[in-house]
Chains A and B, each alone.
Chain A
Amino acid sequence: MANFEQTGPGKPVLEATRVDKVTPGYRLGHNLRALIVVLLAIVGLIPVFVIVITAFKTRPDAIHVPPKLIFTPSLEGLVFLFTERASASPSRLEELKKAAEEVQLGLVDRIALNAGQEITGPSDYVFRLRNSLIIAGISTLLSVVLAIFSAYAFSRYGVKGKGDLLFFILSTRMLPAVVVTVPLFLMYTQLKLHDTHLGMILLYTVFNLSLAVWLMKGFFDEIPREYEEAALVDGYTRMQAFFKIVLPQAVTGIAATTVFCLIFAWNEYAFALMLTSEKARTAPPSIATMLGIGGIEWTAIAAGSLGFLIPVVIVTFALRNYLLRGVTFGAVRK
């Protein structure tokens, strides 16, 4: 049976090379444009670069005028980030130095010693990070699960007034956080939800829900209905078709939505600042206030910021092709 489909190694994606795009002049222009963009990218990332090197400087190097580029890296920033310290009196310093010779003092204590300080206990940074993880993690999970179901309903059924419903959901995200926190503050104090993990999880779930619903609706719209209908005709109910046929195809969409919600919850500052004080305080507000107490603890702040920044950078790479959708609430599909 003559079948002329040239399956071969799959049709190659041929990059059209037009005659006027291979002339030396054009090539030069092309390379120049590439160079400019690379330079701009480098300049753009200088602040991130500064954070990285400051995190591994000793305090004197960090505040050296003019700013020092070549320096001996030290873990002082990290140690300061994770410990509470007090400056030790000269006599106390002598004792500790002698102990250091007899190798009784741990590495961490010795680093503090060089900076003339003695460690008195762990700082609250770890505790704050844990709060961030708990609150961001659970709220993301809740918002994604809820979003999957409601987004499927919006995508498949013309829910009455769908247009404004979606807008109404979105509007909660369009407002400055402050506008919403004034009434929330009152509600939470009366309901004893102020400064509680539950309170923050509930808020972040709703905060992320509008993004998650819009994103998931976009991903569901891309899955053709024929698959579910084929399953119906094959003898499955609508629910079974949803779980067996639709969800497996939406896995990449769910992953992207989960990560976007995680980033937004992880980065959130305003709600955390106003609705928590001690017990449920997350990392962002605590890093911001760290500057206050420790004086010019720049190395610790840089280390804290770095710790907060690395997961986001990794995730940005993983999400490259979904960024467009996530940032524009799924409005623009690539």
Chain B
Amino acid sequence: MSNLELKQITKRFPGVTALNDVSFDVQDSEFFILLGPTGAGKTTTLRVIAGLERQEEGTVLFDGEPVDNLAPAGRDVAFVFQQYSLYPTMSVYDNLAFPLRSPLRRTPEGEIRKRIQEIAEVLRIPHLLERKTAHLSGGEMQRVSIGRAIVREPRIFLMDEPLSNLDAKLRESLRVELQHLQKTQGSTTLFVTHDQIEALTMADRIAVLNLGRIIQIGTPEDIYDRPVTTFVAQLVGTPRINLLKSNREDSTLYIMNSDLHLPSPHEYTVLGEFLLGIRPEDILPHPEGKFAGQILLTEPLGVQTVVHIRSGEQTLSSLIPGMSTLKIGDNVRFNILAERLHCFTLDGKRVQR
């Protein structure tokens, strides 16, 4: 497998700059995820790497060597599309064999048959080989398209939201399988998604992309615990992070139009108004909690419950494990875990701590 590097890639379409000075690298056999809302430029990035799109500026390097003037065929990358990932007119076997029969590889048929048997075992699809692609379920289709990517042992795997069209339950199980497969194959993978759960659960490292710009690159823990902007903070974590307008006077943080105030951690240097970010799981209802509020709404989700609390004019959402017995309208006392607070300037930039 090889490693991939993008240096100052800029891609413009008439009237819009799809990618603006994007640079990141993917180490050998790393599972790297590009996370961002629809229209952020994720797919364009993949297409530039695969050579399906020509970038205006910047270079794409495989193992340190620029590949910009190589045709897609010559780059030896595998591309798993979100939809239309299988050739409709061919059987599953022919789909899997197609890349191996390309003029570049000319793999002998015997070799192809052996490789395909192997892959079919790994992906548990041997019973599908002779079936026409039209007769496959969504899950089977994506598994075969992943198989087609693996069978040719490409230098790099590019995956464009392969799970997002699948039914929720299937997505859960395929996520686990894909992660296991990648770890055991050690294949360098660049995976694109807008689903933050997929990013957090599967990635070794995540790059958050919005409007064609890289906002943050880091491990799932970095992105979740140390978001550099309010955009990243709100993108990951359900329910979304509470962002409360607050004010800092010497060593206490006062949350606007509520009587909540917290001792300010000494490293917070900002003075005056700022945005305080509190993850719902860091707000813990507790009989002797320091703060008081009133229950607006409870949303039981099975493994945990979202409790909407109003304190003063501010509404906070908190996340408590298991099923809560709190009723709407009850008064509730709660604590806020001080060690995991996030502090942003009013225009959304993280104040370093």
- Please list the residues of chain A having a beta carbon within 8 angstroms of any beta carbon in chain B: 1-5, 7, 224, 226-227, 229-237, 240, 245, 248-249
Contacts and interface: CB of A to CB of B under 8 A. Distances in A.
B321 interface: no
A2 B173 contact: yes
Interface stretch (B30-38, B81-89, B312-320): B81-89
Nearest to B76: A235
Interface of B: 47, 50-52, 71-73, 75-79, 81, 83-85, 87-89, 98-99, 102-105, 137-139, 148, 152, 167, 169-170, 173, 177
Given A2-B173, A232-B72, A233-B73, A245 B139 contact: no
A226 B85 contact: yes
A3 B139 contact: yes
Given A234-B99, A235-B73, A235-B104, A5 B139 contact: yes
Contacts of A240: 103
23 contacts: A1-B177, A2-B169, A3-B137, A5-B138, A5-B139, A5-B170, A226-B84, A229-B72, A229-B81, A230-B85, A230-B87, A231-B87, A233-B50, A233-B77, A233-B78, A234-B99, A235-B73, A235-B76, A235-B102, A235-B104, A237-B71, A240-B103, A249-B89
A231 B88 CA distance: 13
Contacts of A234: 73, 98-99, 102, 148, 152
A289 to B, nearest CB: 49
Q: Which DSSP category, helix, strand, loop or mixed, fits chain B's interface?
A: loop
Contacts of A235: 73, 76, 99, 102-105
Nearest to B169: A4
Given A1-B173, A245-B89, 17 more contacts: A2-B169, A2-B173, A3-B137, A3-B169, A5-B137, A224-B83, A224-B84, A226-B81, A226-B84, A229-B50, A232-B71, A233-B52, A234-B73, A235-B99, A235-B103, A245-B87, A248-B89
Contacts of B102: 234-236
A233 B99 CA distance: 9
B288 to A, nearest CB: 42
Nearest to B102: A235
Contacts of B89: 245, 248-249
Contacts of A3: 137, 139, 169-170, 173
Contacts of A231: 87, 98
Nearest 3 interchain pairs by C-beta: A235-B102, A234-B99, A235-B104
A244 to B, nearest CB: 8
A254 B127 CA distance: 34
Nearest to B77: A233
Contacts of A230: 79, 81, 84-85, 87
Nearest to A236: B102
A224 B82 CA distance: 12
Nearest to A229: B52
Contacts of A229: 47, 50, 52, 72, 79, 81
A155 to B, nearest CB: 16
B73 A237 contact: yes
Which of A4, A224, A230, A233 has the most chain B CB within a 10 Å cutoff? A233
B139 A232 contact: no
A5 B72 CA distance: 35
Nearest to A240: B103
